[in-house]
Chain A
Amino acid sequence: MLRRAGGVLGIGIAYLLIVTTVGYVIALIMVLAAMLVYLGEGLNVQVALVSIGGACFFWVLFEYFLGISMPGFWGL
C-alpha cells in the first residue's frame, strides 16, 4: 500500500524537479503518461495521445484563457 502511494508521490516530486528545466507542457505530458502507465494503462498510442492532448488543454486553459504564466522551456 505504502509503495503504491509512494509511486504517485514520486511522480509529483519528479514533476517539481524537472518542470523548470523542460517546461510546463513537457513536464505535464510526462506526469500524465507516468500516472496512466503506473495505474495500469500500459504504454500505448492512446496513452501518448491523451497525455499530449491533456497537457495542451491545460496549457491553453491556464496560459491563454486565464492569462497565467506557466513555467517555460529551460526557464524561459
Chain B
Amino acid sequence: MAGVGWGILGGALPGISPSIAMALLLPLTYGMEPGLAIVLLASTYVGAEYGGSIPAILINTPGTNAAAATVLDGYEMQRQGRGGEALGISLYSGVLGGLFGLTMLILLTEQLAEVALAFTPMAYFSLGLLGLSVIVSLSGESLLKGFAAALFGLMVATVGSDPISGVSRFTYGQPELLDGIAPILIMVGLFAVSELLRQASVPVWDKPMGEGARLKLPDGPMRRRLIKPQLLGSVIGTVEGVMPGAGGTIASFMSYNEARRWSKNKDEFGKGSPEGVAAPETANNTVASTALVPVLSFGIPGSNSAAILLGGLLVHGLLPGPRLFEENSGIVIGLYTGLFVATLSLLVLGMLILPVCLWLVNRPKAYLMAFIYALIFSGIYSIDQSLFDLGLVLGAGTVGFFMRLAGFPFLPTVLGVVLGYLVESNFRRSLVLSGGDYAIFLEDPISLGLLIVAGIFILGSLSARMWVGWRSLRGGSTSGLV
C-alpha cells in the first residue's frame, strides 16, 4: 500500500513520472528482502500509472503520457460539475483493468511472451501507424485541422538526434534538445498552460458544485454501460502491454477510439462521456500489469519504469527469463500476490485521496490557478533540473492557447509527438534491413495485418465522417464535412 500511495503521488504530480517515482525508491530497496523490494517497486508502478489520471481529470493536465486520452472526456466532465463521477469511473475502471491485466499476466505469460518476440521493426512501424490512424476520429469537426495538428506533433518528434545516423536535427546548437523533446513537456504546455492562459481571460469561473465535488463510484446502470468500453480497453491493453515500447499511450488512445466506434452514444464522446473515461483508464491499468511479461520472461524493459523494475530484479540477484519462474517461483508468486493487493489498494487509497483532490480543485479560481502554475514550474523542473524544459512548456502553452483560439484539436498533436519517434525509427530500421525495399512492410505478416487494420480504421472513420457531413449538409449545416 505504501508503494501504491507513493506511486499515486508520483503519477499525480506532472513531471514526476512512474519511472522517477520508482527510481527515488530504488535505493531504499537495497536492504529489503528481494520479494518485498520487487513488490514495492511494482506497486509504485501500478499506483503511478493510475495517479496520472487524477490531474488529467481535475486540472486538464495529464500526469503521465498514458493519461492524455483521459483528458478529453474526464476534464469535460469536471467542467460540467461531474468531476467526482469521472474520478469514480476512472478508479473503478483502473482497478478492473489492473485485475484483468494481472490475470493475463499469471495465466498467459508464456503465450504473450511469444507475441512480444514476434514483433519486428516492421511490425512496430505498422503498430505506430495504427496508433496514428486514430487521428482521423480524434480530429473533431475539421479533419484538415486535425491533420495539421498531427503534423505539428510529428515535426516536434523529429527534434533531436537522428535515430539511425545520430546527426542532430533542429537542435539549433542547444544541447538540451539532443535527446529530443519529451512528450510530457508538450502535453503539460498544450493542456495545462494553455488552459491557464484561457481561464485568465474568462471572467466567469465554471466551478463545479454539489454532487460533482464528491467522489461517486458508478452505480448499477452505469456499471452495465461501462462493460463494453472496459472490455475493449482490457483486450487492447493486454496486447499493447506485452509489446516492448508500445506502452500505455497507444493502448489508451486506441481504446478511446474503439470505445467511441462501438458506442451507442457516439455523440457524447468529447463532451463528457463516461465511456470515454472508462476505456483509456482500463487500457492504461491493464498495460501496467501486462508490461511485466517481457520484463519477467526475457528481461526486455518496454519503458523507463520497466527498466527500473528490471534494475530492481538484477540488484537482488534475480535474473529474468524462464529460470526465474523455476528457481525463484516463490518471489514470482509473491510478486503476483503483491500486485493483486496493490491493485485492490488502489480502490481503498483512491477513496481516501480523491475526495481531498476534489476539495482542492474547488478552491477559488485565483488560488487554484496560482497553485497549478507553481506545481507546473516545480514538477517540470524536477524532470531534468532544467529551466530550458520550463521554457519549452511555456512555449507549448502559448502555441496551445492559439490552437484553442483557432479551433485546432490537441490530441492529434499529442499522438504525433508520442508516436513520431516509434514510427520513424522503425521505418528507417526496416529500410536498412531491406536495403531500401518498401515491400518489407508487406512481407512481414504481423506488419501486413496491422497495416490492413489501420487501413480499415482510416476508411471506416472517413466514411463515418462523410456520412455525418452529408447528413449535416441535408440539415443545413456543414459541420463535420471536412
The stretch from B83-91, B320-328, B371-379, B451-459 touching chain A is B371-379
Q: Is the CB of A13 within 8 A of B394?
A: yes
Chain B residues whose CB sits within 8 angstroms of the CB of A51 once the complex forms = 370
Chain B residues whose CB sits within 8 angstroms of the CB of A20 once the complex forms = 387
Is B200's beta carbon under 8 Å from chain A? yes
Q: Is the CB of B378 within 8 A of A62?
A: yes
Query: Which residues of A (25-48) have their CB < 8 Å from a CB of B?
Result: 28, 31-32, 35-36, 38-41
User: Which residue from B370, B381, B385 sits with its C-beta under 8 Å from A31?
Assistant: B370
Among the interface residues A7, A24, A50, A66, which one has the most CB atoms of the partner chain B within 10 A?
A: A66
User: Which residue from A5, A32, A36 sits with its C-beta under 8 Å from B197?
Assistant: A5
Chain A residues whose CB sits within 8 angstroms of the CB of B374 once the complex forms = 28, 31-32, 54-55, 58
Is B24's beta carbon under 8 Å from chain A? yes
Q: Is the CB of A66 within 8 A of B200?
A: no
Task: Map CB proximity to A onto B354-380 as digits: 1 under 8 Å, 0 otherwise.
Answer: 000000000011110111011101100
With an 8 Å Cβ cutoff, the count of chain B residues facing the other chain is: 30
Is B243's beta carbon under 8 Å from chain A? no
Q: Is the CB of B385 within 8 A of A12?
A: no
How long is the Cα–Cα vector from A66 to B370 in the complex, in angstroms? 22
Chain B: CB-nearest residue to A55: B374
Q: Contacts A4-B201, A36-B366, A39-B365 known; A9 to B394 CB distance under 8 Å?
A: yes
How long is the Cα–Cα vector from A64 to B331 in the complex, in angstroms? 32
CB distance from B148 to the nearest CB of A (A): 22
Q: Contacts A4-B201, A7-B200, A31-B377 known; A54 to B370 CB distance under 8 Å?
A: yes
Is A52's beta carbon under 8 Å from chain B? no
Q: Is the CB of A62 within 8 A of B200?
A: no
How long is the Cα–Cα vector from A58 to B366 in the complex, in angstroms? 18
How long is the Cα–Cα vector from A40 to B364 in the complex, in angstroms? 11
How long is the Cα–Cα vector from A38 to B127 in the complex, in angstroms? 47
Q: Contacts A20-B387, A66-B24 known; A35 to B373 CB distance under 8 Å?
A: yes
Q: Contacts A19-B387, A68-B382 known; A31 to B200 CB distance under 8 Å?
A: no
User: Which residue from B24, B367, B371, B373 sits with its C-beta under 8 Å from A12?
Assistant: B373
Is B16's beta carbon under 8 Å from chain A? yes
Chain B residues whose CB sits within 8 angstroms of the CB of A62 once the complex forms = 378, 382
Chain A residues whose CB sits within 8 angstroms of the CB of B201 once the complex forms = 1-2, 4-5
Is B398's beta carbon under 8 Å from chain A? yes
Chain A binding surface SS class:
helix
How long is the Cα–Cα vector from A8 to B271 in the complex, in angstroms? 27
Among the interface residues A5, A16, A20, A54, which one has the most CB atoms of the partner chain B within 10 A?
A: A5
Q: Is the CB of B378 within 8 A of A32?
A: no
Chain B residues whose CB sits within 8 angstroms of the CB of A61 once the complex forms = 378
Chain A: CB-nearest residue to B10: A66
Chain A residues whose CB sits within 8 angstroms of the CB of B381 once the complex forms = 70-71
Chain A residues whose CB sits within 8 angstroms of the CB of B369 once the complex forms = 8, 35, 39
Q: Is the CB of B200 within 8 A of A12?
A: no
User: Which residue from A4, A19, A32, A71 sits with its C-beta under 8 Å from B371?
Assistant: A32
Query: Which residues of B (219-243) have their CB < 8 Å from a CB of A?
Result: none
Chain A residues whose CB sits within 8 angstroms of the CB of B366 once the complex forms = 35-36, 39-41
Chain B: CB-nearest residue to A51: B370
Is B390's beta carbon under 8 Å from chain A? yes
How long is the Cα–Cα vector from A39 to B374 in the complex, in angstroms? 15
Q: Is the CB of B385 within 8 A of A68?
A: yes
How long is the Cα–Cα vector from A28 to B374 in the complex, in angstroms? 7
CB distance from A22 to the nearest CB of B (A): 13
Chain B: CB-nearest residue to A69: B385
Q: Is the CB of A8 within 8 A of B367?
A: no
Chain A residues whose CB sits within 8 angstroms of the CB of B390 once the complex forms = 12, 15-16
Query: Which residues of B (170-201) have their CB < 8 Å from a CB of A?
Result: 193, 196-198, 200-201
Chain B residues whose CB sits within 8 angstroms of the CB of A39 once the complex forms = 200, 365-366, 369-370
Is B410's beta carbon under 8 Å from chain A? no
How long is the Cα–Cα vector from A24 to B391 in the complex, in angstroms? 16
Pairs across A and B, CB under 8 Å, 18 listed = A2-B201, A11-B373, A13-B394, A15-B377, A20-B387, A31-B373, A31-B374, A32-B370, A35-B366, A36-B370, A39-B366, A41-B366, A54-B371, A58-B374, A58-B375, A62-B382, A69-B385, A71-B381
Closest 5 CB pairs of A and B: A35-B370, A39-B366, A5-B197, A1-B201, A4-B201
Given contacts A12-B397, A16-B390, A32-B371, 13 further A-B pairs with CB under 8 A are A5-B198, A7-B200, A8-B369, A12-B193, A15-B390, A24-B378, A31-B370, A31-B373, A31-B377, A35-B370, A51-B370, A62-B382, A70-B382
